[in-house]
Amino acid sequence: MPDPSCATWSGPNSIQPDDDGIAIPTGSTRELRTRSPSPAAPRIESLFSRDGVPPQQTIVVWDPGRAWSTFSLTQLGVGPGAPRLHRVLLRQEGAREPLAEFLVTWLPGGSEAKGWGVVEVLTAPGDPLGTRIALTLLEQADRAVLLAGGAGDKDLMRRIGDFVRSAQWDGPSLLMVSPADKPSRADRLRRGSWPRGLRVHVLEVFASPEPSWTQQLLTMVLGDGAPQEDSAAPPGEPRVRALPAGAPTTAPGTTPGTTAGTSSRATPVAALATATLRDLPSAGSDADPRCAALALAARAPGVLACALLDAAEGEVLASLGPVQVASDAARCAARMWQAQGGAATELGWSTATCHHVVLPVWRQPPQLLLAVADREFGEPANVRWHLAVARNHLT
């Protein structure tokens, strides 16, 4: 990203607010203007109201193709006690249409003094100036989320590559959100030729028309960093962790009112998963991310055991559930991974009693995330989705 302190740079320093420091009322719109022919994004703190406390951490979300209509920060501003939401327009001097629009608010569940600031970037699809503005704002964020997985991904990858090659990336890893019901699109993003210095992770999720889906996605991305409600849980009840709340209550492929893997016959599978989850530290603690990831994987209906293993040796690094079940599956997964030349994007097999699903964790040395599910109560597609969400904690 260009250095804002450089006197020759005409990006954010050239943007002048039109309100001359007047406090921004709730739900208002203000405008930032620039004379630069190729402007970058304004400083991220300048997007928030200047009569309040600036956010300690920020998350920026960009939907370049306008394909995720179910995501909107306006959903966070609904209801009593909802955080303030205001709009900021970025416009070139003399231009009729704005280059970009920013929706700015706070993530519910915490006060402004300790909460996450959230910015949604709106740009015209395919606009090169809009791409530059969005990417230079994503660089400034603590969490950078890009809603992808659409028909324009190939062109988007090219535009991101051109930007990073012309100005070295100086921001966080890019989290690319892709629709879980179209796994080939996520695989295309993972296999993309991304520039050196830019780390890209892919999270597969199911979009939902429910008004709470936007907050669920943000909470899922932030994990244990998400703000918590100040009210304490009733005595004797475990505190609800923020990230697992984003997991679906109705499994993919089922109809409302039914849950995948349920049966009239009693089974120890659900009790096993519940017991292992209760032993995990509560949100906000310094928990090992491996434990959080395995807890998410264990939430898939029918899961008997899950594990994180060394891909080369098959050594189990962490596990939940019966040790022998995890160890046996880990050895088989490592052999299959090596037989595929260490390049498989997913492994899976079934026995007479169990389904096995494995996803790679791309790090050095490579690791594998494994789940073993009861064949009667587990659904491989649902298990795979939970593993993909869990993997986000490990990359």
Please, what are the averages of pLDDT over each run of 10 residues along the chain (395 residues)? 36 39 53 90 85 81 92 73 80 89 80 72 93 95 92 92 85 88 85 86 80 81 53 30 28 30 28 35 53 86 90 89 90 85 83 87 86 84 87 80
Tracing tokens 């309040």 back to the chain, one arrives at: 52
Q: What is the pLDDT of residue 78?
A: 59
CA distances from 333 to 34, 273, 322, 337 (A): 55, 22, 17, 6
Q: Which pLDDT score is estimated for 274?
A: 33
Residue 321, Cβ density class (10 Å: 0-12 exposed, 13-18 middle, ≥19 buried) = buried
Q: How far apart are the first and last CA of the chain?
A: 23
How high is the pLDDT of residue 12? 37
Give the per-residue pLDDT at 247.
32
Is the bond preceding residue 183 a cis peptide, omega within 30 degrees? no
Angle of CA points 103, 20, 36, to nearest 5°: 65
* 362, burial (CB in 10 Å: exposed 0-12, middle 13-18, buried 19+): middle
HSE at residue 319, side-chain half, CA atoms within 13 A, is 23
d(CA 243, CA 35): 42
3-state secondary structure of 277: helix
> What is 52-77 written as a DSSP string?
SPPPSEEEEEE-TTS--TT--GGGGG
- Which amino acid, one-letter code, is at 167? A
Report DSSP letters for 212-232, one per residue: THHHHHHHHHHGGGS---SSP
pLDDT at residue 80, rounded to an integer: 57
> Distance between CA atoms of 171 and 2, rounded to whole angstroms?
12
Per-residue pLDDT at 376: 74
CB 218 within 8 A of CB 71: no
In order of their start, the domains of the chain are 12-225 (3.40.50.300), 254-391 (3.30.450.30)
Element counts in the chain: helices (H) and strands (E): 8, 14
The residue to which tokens 């450089």 are assigned:
6
Torsion, Cα 381 384 389 390, to 10 degrees, reads 150
Residue 351: the pLDDT is: 80
C-alpha 66/C-alpha 134 separation (Å) is: 13
Contact 59, 222 (CB under 8 A): yes
Both structure tokens of 17? 């607010």
Placement of tokens 């939970």 in the chain: 386
Helix (H) or strand (E) holding 290: helix 289-298
Amino acid at 330: A
Task: List, edge to edge, every strand of the sheet that includes 16-17.
Answer: 16-17, 29-34, 86-92, 100-106, 116-122, 57-62, 143-147, 174-179, 200-205
Q: How many Å apart are CA 365 and CA 312, to the nearest integer?
A: 8
Residue 204 pLDDT: 79
**Of 200, 219, 197, nearest to 395 (Cα)?**
200
